[in-house]
Amino acid sequence: MNLLDAANAVRENAYAPYSKFKVGAALRTGNGNVFVGCNVENVASPEGTCAEAGAIAAMVAAGEGVIKEITVVADSPLPVPPCGGCRQKIMEFASPEVPVTMATVSGETLTLKVSVLLPGSFGAEHVVRS
């Protein structure tokens, strides 16, 4: 399954009545399964939840925990990057070399490695005590 097509399809399901900014995300796991997510806003928190977080939550709920690639798409003039919180969530489940493809609905894409999106990331090695 093409991740860009999956992200575009789920983007249509986004609930964005306040911002009108629909975002879709799709990720492929180490087992080859694809999980999708879209943003969901609410009146108390108009920024809502992010598409990437939704895809990651679906992956974890299915009992998986390794991201091999991820794509995010939005109707934006430039490829839209994951927010800071989602970058940290992606880092939890992906190695630094995993590709993150950011895309626009018009077809422009930019692919960067996780390590480039979140340099100096906080990881498990920071909480291990001797």
Give the pLDDT confidence of 20-72 residue by residue, as tens digits. Answer: 999 999 999 999 999 999 999 987 776 678 899 999 999 999 999 999 999 99
3-126 CATH, one of 1.10.3720.10, 3.40.140.10, 3.20.20.80, 1.10.760.10? 3.40.140.10
Structure confidence at residue 128 (pLDDT): 75
Amino acid occupying residue 82: P
Query: Which of 12, 41, 47, 52 is flagged as catalytic?
Result: 52
Q: How confident is the model at residue 24, as a pLDDT?
A: 96
Amino acid at 74: A
Band (79; pLDDT cuts 50, 70, 90)? very high
Res. 126 pLDDT band, cuts 50 70 90: low
Name the β-bridge partners of 42: 45
Q: If you average pLDDT over residues 107-113, what whole number do you get?
A: 96
Cα distance from N-terminal residue to C-terminal residue, the chain: 44
Catalytic residue status for 52: yes
Band (pLDDT 50/70/90 cuts) for residue 85 is confident
